[in-house]
Copies of this chain bind each other. A is one copy, B any other.
Amino acid sequence: MAEKIAIIGTGLVGSGWAVVFARAGCDVALYDAGPGAAAKGREVVATQLRDLAAHGLVGEDPDTILARVRVAGDLADALDGAVYAQESTFERTDVKRQVFAEIDAVIGPDTLVGSSSSGIPASAYTDHVGCRARCLVAHPVNPPSLAPVVELVPAPWTAPETVKAVRALMERVGQAPVEMTREIEGFILNRLQGVLLMEAWRLVEEGLATAEDVDKTVSQGLGLRWAFMGPFETIDLNAPGGVADYARRLGPLYHSIAASTAEHRVWDETLIGKVEAQRREVLPEAELAARRAWRDRRLMALARHKKDAEA
């Protein structure tokens, strides 16, 4: 029998999750407190499934997959019999505290709950609920149907079995779960992105390079290996003796670079204006929407390429 999944909050993130679970064969129930929001979310699911099918990224007819996605009558109906609920409501602590209290009031004894929270740790909005040992952060990259990583971040009271079970579920549905052992600001992904962005902005701020050339350095060089290997595997393969050899050769350089960047300037309005002006020269504001559509097509084509390369 298909596993039942509840999607709580059916905006862009929640709809993306529905695609992931339905594509993998789960029965998905959508719930959103906004009137008509869940029905609208189901339309987004339909559109995303058609796009994925056009890129050969689903194994069945999109309508067959969509038939597994239903709009729930209320929160209790959505959670009824669910092995897992993915919460994707607004990123605000008070909102999430209220939502988790509502979930707690009707949740069954075996349902686990993951929050799509991109920054607020689960301890900030699950301390007050009875089911808190079954709650954790399960942070996706948007859209999860194309970028499979999911960051699992337990609160201090999250049971180890919860992390284990959610990790196994995510693997079953084709995602790539990663685990943190405890909460830390930004989790893994945004910490790595953050330090790279701080350095990128600094290079522009100090007039050492343009934003366009920094971008090219990544998209035509540094980012290529990272699209299919992580940073550790990259350096492990980049020295004859592996990662230890690499670390002994290049550790001093990187340490020296890091030491030279120890002072972190806030992105103030002057600097924001400078970067914004450089970007608008490369891409006028009127073309942002078209470029986002281009990015989505490129992500789909890349996902298809990776699927083929890994086959």
Contacts and interface: CB of A to CB of B under 8 A. Distances in A.
A230 B251 contact: no
Chain B CB within 10 A, most for which of A178, A260, A262, A275 = A178
Contact of A209 (B188, B278, B288): B188
What DSSP secondary structure best describes chain A's contact surface?
Answer: helix
A264 B259 contact: yes
Interface residues of A, number: 100
A95 interface: no
Given A192-B222, A197-B254, A288-B242, A214 B230 contact: yes
A172 interface: no
Interface of A: 119, 141, 146-149, 151, 176, 178-182, 184-186, 188-200, 203, 207-233, 235-237, 242-244, 247-248, 251, 253-262, 264, 266-267, 272-273, 275-276, 278-280, 282-283, 285, 288, 291-292, 295, 298-299, 301-303, 305, 309
Give the 8 A-B residue pairs with the shortest CB-CB distance, closest first.
A215-B230, A223-B226, A149-B221, A227-B227, A178-B213, A176-B220, A194-B254, A149-B220
